[in-house]
Amino acid sequence: MNEQKLFDKIKRLAGKAVGDFNLIEENDRILVAISGGKDSWTMLHVLKELCRRAPIHYELVPVTINPGFDGFDTATITHYLTEQGFTAHLETTNGEEVINAHLRPGSSYCAFCARLRRGALYTTAQKLGCNKVALGHHLDDHIETLLLNQFYSGTISAMSPKLLADNGEQTVIRPLVYVEEHLIDQWTALRNIPRVDCSCPMLVRRDQKRQRMKVLIEELQGEIPQIKNSLLNAMRNVQPRHLLDKNLKDF
């Protein structure tokens, strides 16, 4: 597929998610969370294009949380945002210091860092008058989380495409929920989109459990070609009657 066809496909899938879950409404001011990685850049391009053609009015406000790790390349992020016609909002946190001081032994560095970042995103959304926060999680992220939670946490849950944040103020949206990661990989490579990583000292050991889920799904895909769609459908087709949760059913 060429660059345009790939982008059209990604845009169609994101547009479907926006419609299915009512992700964007009139006069929304959406904080678009930009890590500098492929997923968030793709989300920004798609939302910008959908915004251009939308029958309703909404605004996009890209925001990057600088986690404070040495080497985090804010210059590339600012430059690319400016090139795309946006103003860069950078918020610097002392993430590394907080993590080093408060992370309990055995807890996940990445998960702790993500929680801190989420807090910083909500605070920034409030400061900038944004009622929504858009995150770049794609279909593979959703189904990996579904498996991770079953295998390691003993819950049947994943990530919602639309969820009121814990602070009760902002709504988190995930417009790439239907977009497979390989489409994003291919499109960002063809389009020469810059890739900035978080420069975290744990980067090489990062998310090993998630990586395991990724490999497992890839392995099974040989045998079950529709596995990703099937897992996506499982999240849309919960049958509490056939589960064991006493909170969902009287026994």
Which of 136, 171, 178, 183 is in the footprint of ligand ATP by CB under 6 A? 136
141 is in an annotated binding site: yes
Distance, in Å, from the CA atom of 241 to the CA atom of 50, rounded to the nearest integer, reads 39
Which CB atom, from 12 or from 115, has the smaller least distance to ligand ATP?
Answer: 115
Q: Per rule CB under 6 A, is residue 137 in the interface with ligand ATP? A: yes
Distance, in Å, from the CA atom of 142 to the CA atom of 6, rounded to the nearest integer, reads 21
Q: Per rule CB under 6 A, is residue 116 in the interface with ligand ATP? A: no
Q: How many CA atoms lie within 13 A of 94 on its CB side?
A: 5
SS3 32: strand
Q: Per rule CB under 6 A, is residue 11 in the interface with ligand ATP? A: no
Q: Per rule CB under 6 A, is residue 174 in the interface with ligand ATP? A: no
Answer for the pair 91, 124: CB distance below 8 angstroms, yes or no. Answer: yes
33 is in an annotated binding site: yes
3-class secondary structure per residue, 165-176: CCCCCCEEECCC
Q: Per rule CB under 6 A, is residue 171 in the interface with ligand ATP? A: no
User: Within 26-65, which residues bind ligand ATP (CB under 6 A)?
Assistant: 33-35, 37-40, 64-65
Binding site for ligand ATP (CB under 6 A): 33-35, 37-40, 64-65, 67, 117, 135-137, 141
